[in-house]
């Protein structure tokens, strides 16, 4: 007979809600950053530095926060601080006057993420049975992605209201106001974690002096972290995908031509000033639209595919995801060379497939961490896992930005091809290493 699945714990549901509100706020801004940076007169190298510094900052804090949460035995306190910092600093993006200033805002935003992530993941691990962890992490990711659907849609509505309702023709000013309004869902996230996330104290748990020993963790786990680092070196910021799309559709005029061929849309866009201004509005609105579509696919598949790792094993699911990543990055390498009429369809198809990479890896990667490490060390383990991801993020994004700009200057149109191909090759190397070097712990049968 089939065993009845347990309900997802209330604390996991509430943390999922917090993730939804937070990502709604974040994704009102994130898909528009490439267009914002371009409007401020900067390009791929600056984008790489911004994203690399942001993710590396988050990684360092995730490690420290995870160790501290293990020692003091209090996860929620750190989770509240982390969400609060991000929610209140993120909207300040709308006030910057130069692209380099975004580095500091993204850095403090990631400080918040760094403080909250490891203790939040440890809370989820403690609240669920090992045979349900993949599903629980998948659910939290699904809620996060739901927020990432709501955020871009909210951004599109906000931009349309600003352009049409208030008659603002300056796209840079419209972006600034959209970023400032992202404060609203951020506040909802903080209130939810404050009043609805409850932490069960471990019996007999006492605070201990903060200490750290990498050697105290299993060798198998350390090898896994190293392989994650290898993969991450080729895993540049997703902002580069949006940058690639923005570059492609701007050069080809694909989206502009499509919108102007549809009479009602053309009539609406014709109110936005000059032909150049109309093109800017169309291209800017396309980015959050494709980003929302991307996260719909992630939200739909994260929970069931996260649960799949509970059945067929974490390594298999992770490697399927990494294989998808390699294929998609190799395909993005050649996006700009497609005929204009095919670019829009290809963009949606590639983002849909890329969403499956996240669905296969996010829940399974974290569930494998929880499987490998004892409960009293999980905060530290998740901190180390996220540290490995972030440690590779700065060189990954900077290298990617350099390859993009350097080869584009020498061979126009081929910079992105080289950069995306580099990421694809490293993913393939990481797949082979994971399959051959890491032993997956056997799960207890219920």
Exposure letters 209-231 (e unless 16+ CB within 10 A, then b):
eeeeeeeebeeebeebbebbbbb
Per-residue pLDDT band for 434 (boundaries 50, 70, 90) equals very high
> Quick check: is 260 in a domain?
yes
The tally of domains found in the chain comes to 1
pTM: 0.70
pLDDT at residue 210 in the model:
47
> Quick check: is 446 in a domain?
no
> Quick check: is 178 in a domain?
yes
The pLDDT of residue 122 is above 50 = yes
User: Taken in order 242, 247, 253, 256, is the CA torsion positive or negative?
Assistant: positive
Q: Say if CB 305 and CB 317 are below 8 A apart.
A: yes
> Quick check: is 210 in a domain?
no
SS3 of residue 205 by DSSP: coil
> Quick check: is 206 in a domain?
no
| Lowest-confidence pick of 64-78, 251-265, 351-365, 411-425 | 64-78
Percent of the chain with pLDDT over 70: 86
Q: What is the dihedral of CA 24, 28, 31, 33, to 10 degrees?
A: -130
DSSP 8-state secondary structure symbol assigned to residue 253: -
Q: What is the mean pLDDT of residues 60-85?
A: 74
Can you spell out the DSSP letters for 99-141?
A: GGGHHHHHHHHHHHHHHHHHHHHHHHHHHS-GGGHHHHHHHHH
**Mean pLDDT of the chain, nearest integer:** 81
What are the structure tokens assigned to 56, written together? Answer: 């590396």
Residue 63 Ramachandran class (φ > 0 left, ψ -120 to 50 alpha, else beta): alpha
The pLDDT of residue 415 is above 60 = yes
Give burial (CB, 10 Å; 0-12/13-18/19+) of 239: buried
Higher pLDDT, 236 or 73: 236
> Per residue in 276-290, pLDDT tens?
777 877 877 888 888
Rounded CA separation 406/44 (Å) = 10
> Per residue in 188-199, pLDDT tens?
999 998 888 887
pLDDT at residue 1 in the model:
40
Domain hosting 258: range is: 10-198+217-437
Per-residue pLDDT band for 59 (boundaries 50, 70, 90) equals low
The pLDDT of residue 172 is above 90 = no
> Quick check: is 204 in a domain?
no
Rounded CA separation 88/20 (Å) = 16
pLDDT at residue 216 in the model:
62
> Quick check: is 320 in a domain?
yes
| Lowest-confidence pick of 141-150, 172-181, 296-305, 352-361 | 296-305
Calculate ∠ Cα 154-45-181, nearest 5°: 20
The CATH number that applies at residue 266 is: 1.20.1250.20
Most confident of 62-71, 99-108, 325-334: 325-334
Kindly report the backbone phi and psi dihedral angles of residue 104, in degrees, each rounded to the nearest multiple of 5, phi listed first: -70, -35
Most confident of 16-30, 235-249, 379-393: 16-30
Per-residue pLDDT band for 37 (boundaries 50, 70, 90) equals confident
Q: What is the mean pLDDT of residues 199-218?
A: 55
pLDDT at residue 123 in the model:
82
């Amino acid at each position: 007979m089939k065993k009845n699945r347990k309900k997802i714990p209330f604390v996991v549901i509430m943390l999922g809600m917090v993730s939804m509100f937070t990502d709604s706020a974040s994704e009102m801004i994130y898909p528009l950053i490439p267009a914002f940076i371009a409007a401020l007169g900067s390009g791929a190298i600056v984008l790489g530095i911004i994203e690399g510094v942001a993710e590396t900052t988050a990684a360092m804090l995730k490690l420290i926060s995870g160790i501290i949460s293990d020692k003091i035995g209090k996860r929620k306190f750190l989770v509240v601080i982390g969400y609060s910092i991000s929610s209140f600093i993120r909207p300040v993006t709308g006030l910057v006057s130069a692209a380099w200033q975004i580095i500091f805002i993204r850095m403090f935003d990631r400080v918040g993420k760094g403080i909250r992530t490891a203790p939040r993941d440890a809370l989820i691990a403690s609240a669920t049975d090992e045979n349900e962890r993949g599903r629980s992490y998948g659910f939290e990711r699904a809620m996060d992605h739901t927020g990432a659907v709501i955020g871009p849609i909210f951004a599109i509505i906000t931009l349309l209201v600003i352009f049409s309702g208030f008659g603002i023709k300056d796209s840079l000013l419209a972006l600034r106001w959209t970023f400032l309004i992202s404060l609203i869902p951020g506040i909802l996230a903080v209130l939810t974690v404050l009043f609805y996330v409850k932490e069960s104290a471990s019996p007999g748990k006492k605070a201990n002096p903060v200490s750290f020993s990498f050697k105290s963790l299993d060798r198998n786990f350390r090898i896994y972290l190293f392989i994650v680092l290898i993969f991450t070196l080729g895993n540049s910021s997703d902002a580069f995908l949006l940058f690639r799309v923005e570059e492609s559709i701007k050069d080809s005029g694909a989206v502009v031509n499509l919108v102007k061929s549809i009479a009602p849309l053309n009539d609406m866009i014709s109110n936005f000033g000059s032909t150049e201004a109309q093109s800017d509005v169309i291209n800017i609105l396309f980015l959050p639209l494709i980003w929302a579509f991307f996260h719909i696919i992630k939200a739909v598949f994260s929970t069931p595919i996260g649960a799949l790792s509970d059945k067929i094993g974490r390594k298999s699911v992770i490697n399927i995801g990494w294989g998808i990543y390699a294929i998609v990055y190799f395909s993005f390498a050649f996006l700009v060379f497609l005929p204009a009429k095919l670019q829009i369809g290809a963009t949606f198809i590639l983002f849909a497939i890329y969403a499956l990479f996240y669905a296969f890896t996010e829940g399974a990667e974290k569930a494998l961490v929880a499987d490998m490490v004892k409960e009293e060390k999980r905060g530290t383990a998740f901190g180390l896992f996220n540290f490995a991801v972030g440690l590779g993020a700065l060189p990954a994004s900077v290298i990617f930005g350099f390859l993009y700009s350097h080869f584009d200057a020498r061979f126009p149109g081929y910079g992105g091809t080289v950069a995306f191909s580099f990421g694809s090759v490293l993913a393939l190397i990481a797949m082979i290493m994971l399959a051959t070097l890491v032993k997956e712990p056997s799960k207890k049968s219920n």
